Amino acid sequence: MGKKKKKEKQLFLRLNLLFLLTFVLFSALIFRLGLIQIVQGEEFVQQAERNTQRTIEGTAPRGYFLDRHYREIVTNEHMYTLTFTRQRELESRKVEIAQKLSALIDMDAKEILAKMEEGIFLTPHRIKTNLTPEEMARVAEHLDQLPGVEIMVDSERNYVYDGVLDTLLGSVGSITAENRDYYLSRGYRLNEQVGRSGLELQYEEQLRGVPSESIITVDRTQRIIDHPIEIPGRRGNDLVLTIDVEFQQAIEEIIAKEIETNPDIPKDKPAEQPLFVALNPKTGEILGMSNNVFTYKVGSYVPGSTVKMATVLAGLHEGIVTPHTVINDRPITIGRQTFRSWKTLGSVDAVRALQLSSNIYMINIGLKMAGSYSSDAVSRAQDQLREYYAQFGLGVPTGIDLPGESAGQIFDSADYHLPGRLAHLTFGQLDQYTPLQLAQYAATIANGGYRMQPYLVKEIRRGTAEDDGIGEVIWRKEPRVLNRIEMSEEHLRTVQRGMEAVTAPGGTAYGMFGDFPVKVAAKTGTAQTERPYNHTLLVGYAPADDPEIAFATLVPYSQRAQTQTQSPAQRITKEILSVYFGLEKNGEEDNGEETE
């Protein structure tokens, strides 16, 4: 009995000790939790908030433009830029900071303040670019009094050849309100510079560099509390163009000389200045272009007689004429309108119609295609002709790697479904095309009927450090055939012989190219306008037997009459081809042949 009581007493003691120990442990735990939540809670919260990290992106140098021989055309020029980074604690001091800055740089305090307001928090915003050495020195001396203000190394585009091709290369600028959503959705920062036009815009994703980064730690009020971690950026990819920059320089100089010396060409109206395109007919590579957006976009022009090869090929393919069909070129009347060639030419076949530029031969094809003068028949014939023209790239986009390309202008409303309008269409006095479309058209004839996509960028190479040379190829353009025209090789050869005859004795361009050492196949054109002056044109390719360059030249409002012997378009073309083939400058004496 005594032993049993003793065991019960010991068990009771052990249970009490266990309960006591448990109570002490729970009390310690509760005390610790209370200490953390009540005494130290605020400190821990602040510490967590204080450890928030932000990433600030710096500048991203853009990729270079190189010519086909890897000569630099556009690079980046380093400069110093004044920036301001908005921070919560500085909002009340912006006016004060702007006033201090206005005394140090050539900029009004109100303008500085407006720039500050444009920025977003914790993102450096450009206040003034390209600081002078004096401005930089003054600001640097007072940086300790200018919180949020920094001087950063920035870059701007440097045109190595003084603006050669700059209109087509395009421009860069800040992200605007109109396109901010587009760029933000693609991971851009609002302070980045982006392509605004030309190739800069077309190849924005490739040219864009990888921006440098600064990783900073801020507290809950966005105060920076630690030194930033710097991650360097990388230059964007480089674009290798199809153009030889020295040949391009020569093109621009020849055009500039014509503008300077020809009193009929305005010096302040790009739409009325000479336009030129040269491309490789076998690949579509652009070899050179006039440095003018009207070459491929914005406007278009009536092509005049340069369209006649397409009309002849349509007639041959439809069986309306054969290579040997002879038509008497003399004035004809359609309704109340009389049509004629630039002079009465007499009997002409397909080759001679091109050599002498017969309007009547072309009208005959159009009217026989219609079959009658009814509106429906005329409309069908116009549509049929345009389908043939489109196979050469006339009236449709060429596919060039430039933004905003014009497809030309087609006049196809009911008001134009008239026999006289059909006649105008057949010899290039109705629809309008760009010089680029005309060059692709000539190249298609030169290339055996294969229409190639024109392009300006042949390679994309990885951007490198300045002293590391040319980067590795990451993309190379492969020539692309857009289509092959329906016409037979025999019919195409007939038209090619007609173009060769244009520069032979009796042809409309013999006066200019009769003594040229390289055989040129061409077609002259005169497009009547609403003014007393006509457009002059020349399209073609050379050498005629193995073409390596196809071209189109258009000089708006540059001819008073159709009988002048040396049009500005022919003169410009001859000078450019002389440079291309490495020839001495040839004399341009008139041999007495009349030209269209």
Catalytic residues: 305
Do residues 288 and 276 make contact, with C-beta atoms less than 8 angstroms apart? Answer: yes
Q: Which residue bears the tokens 């055009």?
A: 255
Residue among 540, 493, 495 nearest 516 (CA): 540
What crossing angle do the helices spanning 375-391 and 419-426 adopt, rounded to 10°?
20
- 399 C-beta neighbours (distance < 10 Å), count: 16
What crossing angle do the helices spanning 94-102 and 109-118 adopt, rounded to 10°?
130
| Residue 101 token pair | 């800055």
Sign of CA dihedral 179, 181, 186, 191: positive
What does the DSSP 8-state code read for residue 93?
A: G
Q: Peptide bond before 543: cis, by omega within 30 degrees of 0?
A: yes
Integer Cα distance of 328 and 351 in angstroms:
14
Residue among 247, 307, 592 nearest 437 (CA): 307
Percent helix, percent strand, percent coil in the chain, to nearest 5: 40, 20, 40
Buried (b) or exposed (e) across 408-435, using 16+ Cβ within 10 A? bbbebeeebbbbbbbbbbbbbbbbbbbb
**CA 297 from centre of chain:** 10
Sign of CA dihedral 429, 434, 435, 436: negative
